Amino acid sequence: MSYIQSYGATEVVTGSCHIIRLKSGRNIMIDCGMFQGEVEHRNYEPFGFDPSKIDVLLITHAHLDHVGRIPLLVKEGFKGRIVTLKSTMDLAEVVLLDSANLMEEEFRTRYRKAQRRGEEDSVRKPLYTVADVEDIFNLPIEYVKYGRKVEILKGVFVTFFNAGHILDSAIIEVDLKREKKRLVFSGDLGNRNDIVMPNPDILKSADVLYIESTYGDRNHKSLKDSVEEFKKVILETLLEGGNVVIPSFAIERTQEILCLLKRMYKQRELPECKIFIDSPMAIRATRLYREYYEELSKECRKFLMEDGEVFDFPFLEYTLKVEDSKKINGVNGCIIIAGSGMCNGGRILHHFKHRLWNPKNSILFVGYQAKGTLGRAIVDGERWVRIYNEEIKIRAKIYTINGFSAHADQRELIEWMSGFERLNHIYLVHGERDKQLVFKKAIKEKMNKKAHIVSFKEKIYI
User: Are 280 and 348 in the same domain?
Assistant: yes
- Among 246, 245, 446, 251, which residue's Cα sits nearest to residue 358? 245
Amino acid 429: pLDDT = 99
Cβ-Cβ contacts under 8 Å for 299 (sequence gap 6 or more): 195, 259, 263
Each residue of 383-417: pLDDT tens digit?
999 999 899 999 999 999 978 888 999 999 999 99
Cα–Cα distance measured from residue 431 to residue 13, given in angstroms and rounded to the nearest whole number: 4
Each residue of 153-201: pLDDT tens digit?
999 999 999 999 999 999 999 999 999 999 999 999 999 888 899 999 9
User: Are 126 and 228 in the same domain?
Assistant: no
Amino acid 271: pLDDT = 92
What is the CATH classification number for the domain harbouring 202?
Answer: 3.60.15.10
User: Are 196 and 70 in the same domain?
Assistant: yes
User: Are 158 and 72 in the same domain?
Assistant: yes
pLDDT-derived band of residue 13, with 50, 70 and 90 as boundaries? very high
User: Are 92 and 11 in the same domain?
Assistant: yes
Cβ-Cβ contacts under 8 Å for 369 (sequence gap 6 or more): 342, 343, 375, 376, 378, 379
Q: Which of 60-69, 120-129, 298-307, 337-346 is predicted with the least confidence, judged by mean pLDDT? A: 298-307
pLDDT-derived band of residue 298, with 50, 70 and 90 as boundaries? confident
User: Are 420 and 396 in the same domain?
Assistant: no
The residue range of the domain holding 388 is 223-404
Considering the chain, what is the average pLDDT of its residues? Answer: 95
Please report, rounded to a whole number, the percentage of residues in the chain having pLDDT higher than 90. Answer: 84
Cα–Cα distance measured from residue 304 to residue 318, given in angstroms and rounded to the nearest whole number: 19
Burial class of residue 246 (count of CB atoms within 10 Å of its CB; 0-12, 13-18, 19+): buried
pTM: 0.92
Q: CB of 158 within 8 A of CB of 150? A: yes
pLDDT-derived band of residue 226, with 50, 70 and 90 as boundaries? very high
pLDDT-derived band of residue 359, with 50, 70 and 90 as boundaries? very high
pLDDT-derived band of residue 228, with 50, 70 and 90 as boundaries? very high
CA angle (58 as vertex; 53, 64 as ends), nearest 5: 105
Given strand 316-318, what is the order of strands in its sheet? Answer: 316-318, 275-278, 335-338, 244-247, 362-365, 397-400
Please report, rounded to a whole number, the percentage of residues in the chain having pLDDT higher than 70. Answer: 100
Each residue of 74-91: pLDDT tens digit?
999 999 999 999 999 999
pLDDT-derived band of residue 223, with 50, 70 and 90 as boundaries? confident
User: Are 228 and 179 in the same domain?
Assistant: no
What is the CATH classification number for the domain harbouring 237?
Answer: 3.40.50.10890
Domain boundary pick from 386, 404, 422: 404
95-112 mean pLDDT? 92
Task: Count structural domains, the chain.
Answer: 2
Amino acid 221: pLDDT = 86
User: Are 24 and 68 in the same domain?
Assistant: yes
Each residue of 250-271: pLDDT tens digit?
999 999 999 999 989 989 999 9
Using CA atoms, how far residue 358 sits from 276, 341, 452, in Å, is: 19, 21, 47
User: Are 111 and 150 in the same domain?
Assistant: yes
Cα–Cα distance measured from residue 127 to residue 43, given in angstroms and rounded to the nearest whole number: 8
Amino acid 371: pLDDT = 85
pLDDT-derived band of residue 342, with 50, 70 and 90 as boundaries? very high
User: Are 417 and 449 in the same domain?
Assistant: yes
If phi > 0 it is left, if psi is from -120 to 50 it is alpha, else beta; for residue 186 that is alpha
Each residue of 361-380: pLDDT tens digit?
999 999 888 888 999 999 99
